[in-house]
Amino acid sequence: MHAQVIPLSVPALREACSQCNLRELCLPVGLSPEELAQLDELVETRRRVLRGQHIYRSGDTFEALYAIKTGFFKTDVLLEDGRDQVTGFQMAGEILGLDGIGTEKHTCNAIALEDSEVCVIPFIDLENYSREIGALQHHFHKVMSREIVRDHGVMMLLGIMRAEERLAAFLLNLSQRFTARGYSPTEFNLRMTRNEIGSYLGLKLETVSRAFSRFQDEGLITVHQKHIQILDVAGLKKLLSERRT
Amino acid sequence: MHAQVIPLSVPALREACSQCNLRELCLPVGLSPEELAQLDELVETRRRVLRGQHIYRSGDTFEALYAIKTGFFKTDVLLEDGRDQVTGFQMAGEILGLDGIGTEKHTCNAIALEDSEVCVIPFIDLENYSREIGALQHHFHKVMSREIVRDHGVMMLLGIMRAEERLAAFLLNLSQRFTARGYSPTEFNLRMTRNEIGSYLGLKLETVSRAFSRFQDEGLITVHQKHIQILDVAGLKKLLSERRT
DNA sequence: CGTGAGCCTTGATCTGCGTCAACGTGAACT
DNA sequence: AGTTCACGTTGACGCAGATCAAGGCTCACG
């Protein structure tokens, strides 16, 4: 796992947003080519993060946002008594670190679930560029707003849905995000454990496991460890809209 | 309910941020007097909202944020099947409408729980002023970030806390916000029903009622309908940090 | 001042999910 | 190829909170 020392030119280390294939998903959405070229100065460095490593921890001083170039992350919050809650799973093109702006300290942990690469966006620079590039400013506001709306969705999950509804919503959400990234909507590998899914959904890992089995028995999906195939998208959606009780 | 037509000078209808006693809590935090004077142009109108009325509904086109000048609000989301979830309670100095930026449609309902007054902040103007006033831009980002952190807190409530912990956290949070506004930390009137508290906390109204009764029996609080007096703040806090089970 | 409607409280009972326990599985080592 | 260890599955049982039900309080309104 030791990196061989290979001489690299500076441009190779810098990440050019204008060249990135995620530019339609990530911060640069909606920028003109000229604006995009300006933005290339914004991303200072790329950073490799190995599976299990943190990008930041709760309490760390907030300095930068992180755009995921490749890989998969979770964010979680720990209570003093040892309980913890996964607050989200993030994939390529999504932005990590928004929680830190308010207090200038991060309030959660961001951990790579697989070997990943992130673009480091110094926040002070983002604010400066935002003042010059209206489209960037506006898009950044949208990113934050969408995070708030996503959180409301999680509150709905946790507040009023039953176990199987939560898991169905979770799978459909993953499916939709994989689709947006050009992957199969119906077949993917989970990067997180049953325990992490449970923590996110407010359930115990046994309940998650049972719900997976139940879905499989009903012909909605197939599960082999972390490999999921969705057989009946409509069936999963119906689970969400049907009120039982 | 018909408003009498009373001639008013324009300055009376306009809300001057620089004169507002909430300026230390609301958007203008951290602005210099000169910047504050600029901001006075930003807030276009004040709007009265009577108890039970919406400021906006899910699906409405997003155009403005709303700063609460006086009063008390809830936001909620409705599912097609009729279930709903309260996503937050907002009081003076807090900003409503952030959910709408991302999609240009509001994604929840904002409803006054008592007769209230809000300052209408056209979002396009806010973005324009933000580009000129760095401190405003930065503070607005903080406001959004704090909303994200608040949402994470609610996820913790819903995901891992038991009923009494949730209610204790809720009361302590209200107490702290009343304190910041110069009201008593230990004595206040709830503006929401047991049902609304339950919806926010992911509990049924009966469970909320029982938890109130239990707290009263244990000498932590007194409850008379909507009137709450906290007798033992430390006791409530202990409920949160103690892991039972 | 009596009536009704909305809200709240309390008790009895039910149930979905948690807890506990045992076993299965597969990938990474030796 | 065998061992180990983390992760996953499944069953039996228990409990926190939901559900159902009955009654009380408070305030608006005729």
Measured in angstroms, what separates residue B195's CA from nucleotide D24's C1'? 18
Cα(A84)–Cα(A76) distance, integer angstroms: 7
Return the closest-CA partner of residue B212 out of B233, B200, B197: B197
Q: What are the chain A neighbours of B160 within 8 Å (beta carbons)?
A: 79, 83-85, 202
Q: Chain B window 80-139: which residues touch A at a Cβ cutoff of 8 Å?
A: 80-85, 87, 98-103, 107-108, 127, 130-132, 134, 137-138
pLDDT value at position A8?
A: 46
Residue of A nearest to B243 (CA): A81
Return the closest-CA partner of residue A168 out of A208, A117, A118, A121: A208
Residue of B nearest to A199 (CA): B159
B148 touches chain A (CB under 8 A): yes
Label residue B180 exposed, middle or buried (CB < 10 Å: 0-12, 13-18, 19+): middle
pLDDT band at A24 (very low <50, low <70, confident <90, very high): confident
CA angle A52, B155, B234 (to 5 degrees): 105
With 0.85 as the threshold, say if the pTM is over it.
Answer: yes
Look up residue A202 and give its two tokens: 């407010």
CB B221 within 8 A of CB B231: yes
pLDDT value at position A169?
A: 98
Does A102 contact B77 at a Cβ distance shorter than 8 Å? no
Helix (H) or strand (E) holding B65: strand B64-70
A145 touches chain B (CB under 8 A): yes
Residue of B nearest to A153 (CA): B77
CB B52 within 8 A of CB B196: no
Indicate the DSSP class of residue B105: B
Beta bridge partners, A209, equal none
Q: Chain A window 2-21: which residues touch B at a Cβ cutoff of 8 Å?
A: none
Cα(A60)–Cα(B41) distance, integer angstroms: 38
Look-up of token digits 């200072």: A44
Cα(B94)–Cα(B98) distance, integer angstroms: 11
A130 contact to strand D (CB, 7 A limit): no
The B187-189 sheet, strands edge to edge: B187-189, B227-230, B221-224
Return the closest-CA partner of residue A186 out of A229, A148, A135: A229
Q: What are the chain B neighbours of A127 within 8 Å (beta carbons)?
A: 134, 137-138, 141
pLDDT value at position B17?
A: 86
Phi, psi of B166 (to 5 degrees): -60, -45
Q: What is the dihedral sign for C-alpha A136, A140, A143, A145?
A: negative
Residue A201 reports pLDDT greater than 90: yes
Measured in angstroms, what separates residue B198's CA from nucleotide C5's C1'? 21
Mean pLDDT over the full length of chain A = 91
10-residue stretch averages of pLDDT, chain B, 245 residues long: 46 69 88 88 87 96 96 94 93 97 97 95 96 95 98 97 97 97 95 97 98 97 95 95 64
Is residue B86 helix, strand or coil?
A: strand
Indicate the DSSP class of residue B4: P
Q: Measured between CB atoms, which of A80, A85, A159 is closest to B85?
A: A159
Residue A17 reports pLDDT greater than 90: no
Q: What are the chain A neighbours of B122 within 8 Å (beta carbons)?
A: none
Please give the sequence-ordered ranges of beta strands (E in DSSP) within B113-197, or none if there are none: 116-122, 187-189
| % of chain A surpassing 90 pLDDT | 76
Cα(A239)–Cα(A214) distance, integer angstroms: 12
Choose between B40 and A181: higher pLDDT: A181
Footprint of strand C on the protein (CB under 7 A): A 162-164, 202-204, 206-207, 225, 245; B 190, 193-195, 205-206, 208-210, 212-213, 223, 225-226, 245
Does A145 contact B101 at a Cβ distance shorter than 8 Å? yes
| % of chain A surpassing 70 pLDDT | 93
